[in-house]
Structure 1
């Protein structure tokens, strides 16, 4: 086996650093690894195999390569992410005194078009939740899952990763809060509203005990028909089927529940920093995009309702 180059050793050292120091998720770390592997291959094609052999022209040439490569230019969001990985790597090299200057500091990422999250109305959400009403095992589970998503703003990946012990109850055992594990395995506690509490209690009492004996013993909260943990793909299919039965006339994604949770809270007067905590955002700036959605809704309502709002 060929000995790793000094550049590859530095890349591996950086990946270990971000994994340990920043607690990145497996998926995020895999993206960093792919980005820097592409960067390393490009540098190798330029005859560069050491960190101190990279200069500003190499970083700029790599950015041009990503925009003009034969297999197709990267979309702006992918280009921005890849260049962000490169800039982070070079900051690390400087911080570890492996190089004398950050040669990627002046490399600006492409500007991304502002995309507001898609949220549905309270009435549309109610129609989706009503579409999973029923007393059979699957309906009881689907109702509990969708009510929980809307009540907590959980990501679908967080919801399907829940174990029974993550539902924390009051002195009578009724669900009161849920313990969610977000990106980087960061924990947050989110209250559970009355509708979600009722749906969870019904599922835990009337459906999960029956489902659990159909498969191997598992602490998973949401179980499939064969007793296994519900997957993200299963959850997506449940959401799509419910939206179809609700006859909304358009498709929704699993993240629609999270977007709607945030938008409806802000529209109801919740403080943006409270919503930040509930969503598990590390920066309030990420949460503030939902205030734009709310402002758009208020403007539309004003234009429609006020007698002197229209020319």
Structure 2
């Protein structure tokens, strides 16, 4: 049994049976390919079915020695565990060598956020005299107003905008749909972009339904959105590392700080588990601690 054949079968399983996004599938496959390359280098005859726990521990120890972050190590181990669960599921193995494989304990890092003034600075930096300016303003307004992932933003379609009730239909991770509200400012700038900019464009075949387009009339890529936001942050004089996800974190943080119900925030973010959303309550407590240290006379 070859690594290539089983990795291909694993990829098909993730796509068809798990309905994972292309980015998630790619991450899983790359993780298993790292293991395959490592083991083939040590023993070319070692097939996926021959792997034992000790082989996996050697691999993990070597990862740690390369000064790879704990988060990356944990993600790779998660990919390997998923691969061997798949082999068990397919009755290709009876014992799972990855079952007792331990991942490094992660220290939960609070995400970087922007305060409202910083978000305002970035929005005001955008020049609205150009088509790209109107598009970029609409994009950032939606990211902050609705807390979308960048992949959800670039895949947003015209038919998924319910302007009359102020909601967007979002296709999130695992092809799970959710409805998220869109704020009045975001709706205003989105309408300007759609009516005054996008309508004037020549749209490439196959891209007619996508909301946000580049100059060639094709849907924007995730990388392009990253570059736009990085440039605007620099122009606004913001020293923090800012990405599309920063707007998502800021959206959630500002809601929690304002007293929003955690379940409602979970629903809007599209988190499968509320444990993922709870990180923002920790962020809120840190904010309260900073307020105490700054303003209390007996800090």
Give the structure-1-normalised TM-score. 0.86
Partner of 2:254: 264
Of 121-130 and 186-195, more deviation after overlay is shown by: 121-130
Partner of 2:132: 138
Number of paired residues? Answer: 296
Partner of 1:236: 226
Residues 1:255 and 2:245 aligned together = yes
Q: Distance in 2 between matches of 1:58 and 1:249?
A: 44
Structure 1, unaligned runs of 5 or more: none
- The one of 74, 78, 82 equivalent to 1:80 is 74
Q: Distance in 1 between matches of 2:226 and 2:37?
A: 36
Relative distance call for 1:204 and 1:109 in structure 2 (3 A) is same
Q: Distance in 1 between matches of 2:37 and 2:234?
A: 46
Paired residue secondary structure (1:180): strand
Of 261-270 and 93-102, more deviation after overlay is shown by: 93-102
TM-superposed deviation, 1:116: 0.8
Of 34-43 and 81-90, more deviation after overlay is shown by: 34-43
Of 282-291 and 20-29, more deviation after overlay is shown by: 20-29
Give CA-to-partner distance per residue, 1:103-139, whole Å, 9 cap, x none: 2222110122321101111122122222226354232
- The one of 153, 161, 168 equivalent to 1:167 is 161
TM-superposed deviation, 1:168: 1.2
Give the structure-2-normalised TM-score. 0.89
Paired residue secondary structure (1:89): helix
TM-superposed deviation, 1:215: 5.4
Give CA-to-partner distance per residue, 1:257-299, whole Å, 9 cap, x none: 1110010011111111211111111111111111111111111
Relative distance call for 1:127 and 1:66 in structure 2 (3 A) is closer
Residues 1:67 and 2:56 aligned together = no
Contact kept in structure 1, 2:163 and 2:187, CA below 8 Å? no
Query: Which residues of 2 match residues 10-159 of structure 1 at below 5 A?
Result: 10-44=6-40, 45-46=42-43, 47-49=45-47, 51=49, 53-68=50-65, 72-132=66-126, 134-159=128-153
Q: Distance in 2 between matches of 1:225 and 1:11?
A: 38
Structure 2, unaligned runs of 5 or more: none
